[in-house]
Amino acid sequence: MNLSFSINGWHKIWQYYAIQTTDTTLINLLILSACISFIIAIFFFLIMPQAHRQNKWFYIVLITSSGTFIPIIGAFFMSLTLYLTMVFGKEQAAVAIKQVEAPSFSVEEDFNIDTFGEGSARTRMKQKHLSNEARTQSLVVLGRLNNSEANKVIQESMNDNDDQIRLLAFALLDNKERKIYEKIHSLEDDLQLDLDEITRAEIHSQLAFNYWEIIYLNLASGELYQIALNKAQNFAENAVKTLPKHANLWVLLGRIYLTQKKHDKALATFQHLQKSGQPHNTYAPYLAELYFINRHFNKVLETLSQKTTLKYIPIVAPIIEYWCPHE
């Protein structure tokens, strides 16, 4: 019975609108619908939850438009839908975008060379007959590079006959070294805090990589070189005890042992990487070098002959070509 009443009621409303349409213009009907819908929209705004009121005009226009072109019913159902959505709908939590910091040490570095390449800059530095301006420009280019070979040339320039070249070379190396030591001092200050074991190990890891960067980039010599190398070893050994699954720490520790000529420890470290299933390229060049030092040539061939992408690495490709010419 209620259903019959409801259907009959809507039928009478539509019949009324049909009669009105024949008696009045369509424009008058739209204006009437818009006014009624606007009143509904204002009522909806008054009962709207406070948190959603910042977009009030958007909702008012939306409800009014719906009621104008779908007389009254559109405004009513649009208001009801919006209200139920606001009250019972769940807001989706915003996805936090985390900024990932650059690693403290990376084998790959971005090169920024303006007018000529690294090789050209190194060659020009050795040509004493060039003007000081040309050699200074070459030295500035080398200063932008962050690799050991470029730093060797800068170190050699510290013995140049020209005062300007010497001072510039010293300033370039000092600036690079200072930036690394600023990171080291900041990390050492963090160690003074009350930290959990994992966090402390991660800081030890970062310290090991930063001290190794000083060695790798040829920024230290003599006693300072040994101090940096020993500190890199100590921090790496401490870190790997707590973070044994960090392959990069094992690689670093193996390279430190190799630099210190502790070949037995280095061999055990890289063999550990091999047994733990790490990618072949991670340890193969160092493992082959240690087998060569120990004169285990069959193992050198076995290590380098595996199907990997080592042959596509420029510095390793000639070695692969020599040992495995048919690969």
CA atoms within 13 A on the CB side of 21: 10
35 found inside a domain: yes
* Residue 114 pLDDT: 44
Q: Which residues constitute the domain of residue 34?
A: 2-88
More confident residue, 100 or 198: 198
Most confidently predicted of 28-32, 65-69, 322-326: 322-326
Residue 298 confidence class, pLDDT cut points 50, 70, 90: very high
Nearest to 303 by CA among 325, 327, 279, 280: 280
For the segment 209-226, what is each residue's pLDDT rounded down to a tens digit? Answer: 999 999 998 888 889 999
Give the model confidence (pLDDT) of 135-157 as tens digits.
888 888 888 888 888 888 888 88
pLDDT higher than threshold 90 for residue 312: no
- Of the candidates 315, 251, 307, 314, the one whose C-alpha atom is nearest the C-alpha of residue 283 is 251
Does residue 17 carry a pLDDT above 70? no
**pLDDT classification of 160: cutoffs 50, 70, 90:** confident
Per the prediction, the chain carries an average pLDDT of 78
* Domain assignment present for 51: yes
8 occurs within a structural domain: yes
| Predicted local distance difference test score (pLDDT) of residue 106 | 43
In a domain, 30, yes or no: yes
Q: Which amino acid is at 56?
A: K
Any domain includes 36: yes
User: Is residue 38 a part of any domain in this protein?
Assistant: yes
| Range 100-104 average pLDDT | 56
pLDDT at 112 (0 to 100) = 44
> Looking at the domain assignment, is residue 121 inside a domain?
no
pLDDT (tens digit per residue) in 242-277: 999 999 999 999 999 999 999 999 999 999 999 998
269 vs 272: CA distance, rounded Å: 5
Greater pLDDT, 211 or 161: 211
- The pLDDT of residue 109 is 42
Please write the tens of the pLDDT for every residue from 179-206.
999 999 999 999 999 989 999 999 999 9
Mean pLDDT of 125-137: 76
pLDDT score for 203: 95
Is 278 within a domain?
no
Residue-level pLDDT at 107: 41
Q: How many domains does the chain have?
A: 1
Instruction: For 24-63, write each residue's pLDDT tens digit.
Output: 566 776 677 677 777 776 776 666 666 666 666 776 777 7
**pLDDT confidence tier of residue 2, bands split at 50, 70 and 90:** very low
pLDDT band at 7 (very low <50, low <70, confident <90, very high): very low
Q: What is the phi-psi region of residue 102: left when phi exceeds 0, alpha when psi lies from -120 to 50, beta otherwise?
A: beta
Q: Where are the alpha helices (DSSP H) in the chain?
A: 2-23, 26-47, 56-69, 73-88, 118-126, 132-144, 148-157, 163-190, 197-216, 222-242, 247-259, 263-275, 280-293, 297-304, 317-323
Contact in structure between 173 and 154 (CB atoms under 8 Å): yes
